[in-house]
Amino acid sequence: MSISLPTYTRREMPLLGRRHRVRAIITTGLRREFKRPAVLVVIGIGVGVTIITSIVVVLFAGVFLQGQPLDLSFFFTPASNGAILFFVTLMASVVGSALIADDLQSMALTLYLSRPITEGDYLAAKAAILAPMISMIAVFPLVLTPLVAALLGSFSWTIALEAIGLSFLIGSLFTAFYTAATLALSSLTRRKSYAAAGVFALTFGLTIPAEILAGPPFNNPAVLYASPWENYLAVARAAFGATGAPIDWRWSLAILLAATAIAALATYLRMKFVEVVSG
């Protein structure tokens, strides 16, 4: 390979603004994710399972949920579908754990930050890659279920529309929390496997012991505040007007919002202070 005639052409056109640059990161990132078989499988199975189970519950409400009035509070049931927790965790670890960790591992972060964007832009872009993927499981099925229920005639449109709106809100809350938490974990390590393990620990490591300690023989419901899933359930219960909450939804909401904000801030600070260049 030789350099015969160094043709060095100059660029005359002006540069596009920051929004375009961030959008470039997002679209390229999403395109790369959708090329991965693992991602497609998780989406396919995750969305499929969550939707199918929710719709089955709607169809056979009379069988599965005896004594449950067919009003707004019904929609708490699909919202509390454990498959959501499982597949959101899976999605967060398959997609999210590598988002920042890989850039730290390959040190491509230097290239990003040497571009005319800020750390905040970089983080916003990464969040905008992860959040849609998670919301495919945390929001989409939840929003689809009342729609299907209304189309089938099981519920009135008034209730259904209210359910759709509320589902969107609480699904987004859950998505925001997991996006922020996963990115925070991803920014702490070069190895995406550690970050992925962290996501699983966050979900099951907190939820399972909390649920055990909350029930007999320990009977300490306050422990449930430690579990993101239980906090989400408390808020969902309150939103849909369902009864039987072991913990106060106001505290749960506050905890989820605070945790999301703290995770986002921690990630931002980490980006600002990480030693981008070695040696």
Partner 1 sequence: MLVETKNLTKVFGEVRAVDDLTVAIPEGAIGLVGPNGAGKTTFLRLLLSLLQPTAGTAKVLGRDILDGVPLRERIGYMPEHDCLIPDMTGVGLVAFMGRVSGLDADSAIGRAHDVLQFVGVEEERYRKVAEYSTGMKQKVKLAQSMVHDPQLYIFDEPTTGLDPRGRTEMLDLVRAIASSPGRNVILSSHLLPDVETICKYVVILDGGHQIAAGDLHDLLTGAADRLRIDIRGDHEAFAQRLRETGFEAEAGPTGVHVGRRPGVEAEVFQAARALGAEVRYMGREIRSLEEFFLELVARNEGKGA
Counting contacts by CB under 8 A, is residue 158 touching partner 1? no
Scan residues 48-107 and list those touching partner 1 (CB under 8 A).
102-103, 106-107
Contact between 117 and 97 under an 8 Å Cβ cutoff? The reply is no
Nearer residue to partner 1 within complex by CB, 28 or 158: 28
Buried b / exposed e across 41-77, counting CB within 10 Å, b at 16+? ebbeebbebbbebbbebbeebeeeeeeeeeebbbbbb
Site string for partner 1, 110-139 (x = CB under 8 A): xxxxxxxxx---------------------
- Would you count residue 151 as binding partner 1 (CB under 8 A)? no
The piece of 2-10, 45-53, 60-68, 247-255 that touches partner 1 (CB under 8 A) is 2-10
| DSSP letter string, 30-91 | HHHHHT-HHHHHHHHHHHHHHHHHHHHHHHTHHHHSTT--SSGGGGHHHHT-HHHHHHHHHH
Residue with Cβ nearer partner 1 (243 or 278): 278
Q: Are 84 and 50 in contact, with CB atoms under 8 Å apart?
A: yes
Cβ proximity to partner 1: between 145 and 187 the closer is: 187
By CB under 8 A, is residue 1 in contact with partner 1? yes
Those residues with Cβ within 8 angstroms of residue 30's Cβ, 6 or more apart along the chain or in another chain: 129, 132
User: With binding defined as CB under 8 A, does residue 8 bind partner 1?
Assistant: yes
Look up residue 163 and give its DSSP letter: H
- Rule CB under 8 A: say whether 244 interacts with partner 1: no
- Residue 196: what are its φ and ψ, rounded to 5°? -60, -45
Selected range binding partner 1 among 7-15, 45-53, 195-203, 238-246, rule: CB under 8 A: 7-15
Q: Is 37 in the site for partner 1 (CB under 8 A)?
A: no
Residue 32 or 250 with smaller CB distance to partner 1: 32
Cα separation, 96 vs 248, whole angstroms: 30
Q: How far is the CB of 197 from partner 1 (least distance, A)?
A: 22
Site for partner 1 contains 17 (CB under 8 A) = yes
Q: Is 9 exposed, middle or buried (0-12, 13-18, 19+ CB in 10 A)?
A: exposed
Q: Which residues bind partner 1 (CB under 8 A)?
A: 1-3, 6-11, 13, 15-18, 20-21, 24-25, 28, 32, 102-103, 106-108, 110-118, 276-279
